[in-house]
Amino acid sequence: MNILLTNDDGIYAEGLWALYEKFVGQHSVTVVAPDRERSAVGHGITLYQPLRTNIVNINNGLTGYAVNGTPADCVKMGLMELLDTKPDMVISGINPGANVGVNLNYSGTVAAAKEAALYNVPAIAISIQGREAAEYNHAAHFTATLAENIFKNGLPFGTFLNVNIPDIPTDKIEGIRISKQGTALYSEYLEKRIDPRNRTYYWHGHDSNTPFNDSEIDGAALDDNFISITPIKCDMTDYNMIDELKRWNIT
């Protein structure tokens, strides 16, 4: 396969290169990733400044393209400029920290996969709850298996897979659960602080222990020690509301 790898944690992130090392021996792999941390930038793209790319040498001959833009910019750059042919797949990750529920709306990792799906390229967004090297290696191995399944079976236009792996030893994982995206809001807060010049500033945070009341959603799968795979569509139309809005007879 011809594979484009990206992420939202930046080109030096450990999870990105765990994927690279897993795929590069058997596939053609190109890395196009942000030149810095771009977590939680959502699906933003760069419009009012130029995009630039630099070839970065990581170590042991590993190289990739660093882009001064968002994860979605990186996918556009790869598809439109840097790759000679359309890739068979785009893989975004491995993100340290789960991307489940409403957080999908903010995630740069997920946005990169969504951008690929808009170009009709099969895509995976892969995240882990933990940050240990062993977890990255297991996630990379699982991603390779899933990629082969996608290559064999295909994905519909505008659909990609969001994958999350629980923060437990590999031998404790119960299996795979095909899940739906959770929609409940996390318990969020803004922590107010005062700086040395007596000016107010805030840190945004949330309670990561928010319980999940629906066993079919992505977050609950992780709580139950399952790998969660959620098919996500780019089409955000609420089809159930179309006929209802017509009945409103808006004039």
Can you list the domains of the chain with their CATH numbers? Answer: 2-183+212-248 (3.40.1210.10)
Q: Are 100 and 228 in contact (CB under 8 A)?
A: yes
At 241, the amino acid letter reads: M
The per-residue pLDDT for 205 is 84
Tell me, what's the pLDDT at 10? 97
The closest of 136, 146, 206 to 167, measured between CA atoms, is 136
CB within 8 A of 196, min separation 6: which ones?
none
129-to-34, 137, 189, 222, 229 alpha-carbon distances in Å: 21, 13, 21, 9, 14
| pLDDT tens by residue, the chain, 251 residues | 999 999 999 999 999 999 999 999 899 999 999 999 999 999 999 999 999 999 999 876 788 999 999 999 999 999 999 999 999 999 999 999 999 999 999 999 999 999 999 999 999 999 999 877 668 999 999 999 999 999 999 999 999 999 999 989 999 999 999 999 998 777 788 999 999 999 999 998 877 666 677 889 999 999 999 999 999 999 999 999 999 999 999 98
Site of tokens 């969020």? 188
**What distance lies between CA 54 and its chain's CA centroid?**
23
pLDDT computed for residue 83 by the predictor = 97
Name the phi and psi angles at 59, rounded to 5. Answer: -170, 160
Query: Which residues neighbour 181 within 8 Å (Cβ) at sequence distance 6 or greater?
Result: 100, 101, 104, 162, 217, 218, 230, 232
Cα 207 from chain centroid (whole Å): 21
What H or E segment, with its residue span, contains residue 6? Answer: strand 2-6
Q: Specify the pLDDT at position 132.
A: 75
